[in-house]
Amino acid sequence: MKVNCNIIQDLLPLYVEQLVSEKSKIEIEEHLKECSQCTKVYEEMNMPKPHIQYSREPAESFRKYVKNKKRRLGIKIAVITALVVMTIVMIRLIAVGALVAFLALDGEKAEVLEDTDISHYSWYIGENAGEEYAEKWGMNEDIFPEEITDEMRVTDYKMVYYNPWDAQYLSYLVVEYEGNNYQTEVKRLNNYASTDYIGYYGSESFMNGYKLLAMEADPYYGFVYALGTDKNSIIYVELIFCNYFMDIDYESMIPEEYLPVGFDATKDNSYRKQQLGE
């Protein structure tokens, strides 16, 4: 295949300086034999010019040119790489900031649900509870009655639910039982495999007049328990949360006498600091 004259003429400076490959050299020489125009260009290149000596200097200049080009290209690649890395870092920082802002805004928008309608009891407790109330961080709610029956006289009830991003639950139910029903329920609760709670969140005991009948305690997720009184009443309580503190003003939502003595689940409680090693 005949090589284009433009290509040959582009290669002639390198040919003159003996910087072409052997194959290219053969192609150029074969072309020069057949092309008078390229031969003329070649001869003009070989004509002596005043004050110019052709030795190895042009070749050395070419090498310096190539080296300089490579150096500049390397600098450009380094700059582009740095810009790309900085852009990725900035995008990630913006994304993290946006996520934090979203979570904060989502937390501010979350509302505290307080329900005192006992007819809604099955919405929150038992096997028919709604999806957001059924799991409750794996805490066992068997201490609470499965349902409210006609034999149970409910004298007080409240369900509190708050979920800015980690769900929290506070419930209490006060039931007055008549006759043998009280003893039957006390027996059921006494047969429950209660767990220890002393020391969790500063808890020490319960107030005088309130006897602990059953306790499900977890050092991280809180308590579910039942208290007996001398008036044939039983108080069922659950305080379920995570991260070692409650994000609600629980002290204003439940009578103090229903809480363990010393219980502190506020954000800066000493139990949380101890568990986190602060």
Greater model confidence, 187 or 52: 187
**CA gap 240, 136 in Å, rounded:** 7
User: Which of 180, 173, 178, 168 is closest to 146 using CA atoms?
Assistant: 173
The total of other beta-carbon atoms located within 10 Å of residue 255's CB is 13
Assign 222 a pLDDT band (cuts: 50, 70, 90): very high
Residues 243-271 pLDDT 10s: 999 999 999 999 999 999 999 999 999 99
H-helix or E-strand containing 74?
helix 57-109
- For the chain, give the percent of residues with pLDDT over 90: 55
Mean pLDDT for all residues in the chain: 86
Supply the pLDDT for residue 52: 47
Is the sign of the CA dihedral 89, 95, 101, 103 positive or negative? negative
Given a cut of 50, whether residue 32 has pLDDT beyond it is yes
Query: Token match 């009443």: residue?
Result: 233
Given a cut of 90, whether residue 278 has pLDDT beyond it is no
Assign 231 a pLDDT band (cuts: 50, 70, 90): confident
Rg of the Cα trace of the chain?
43
Is the sign of the CA dihedral 13, 19, 25, 27 positive or negative? negative
Mean pLDDT to the nearest integer, 55-71: 59
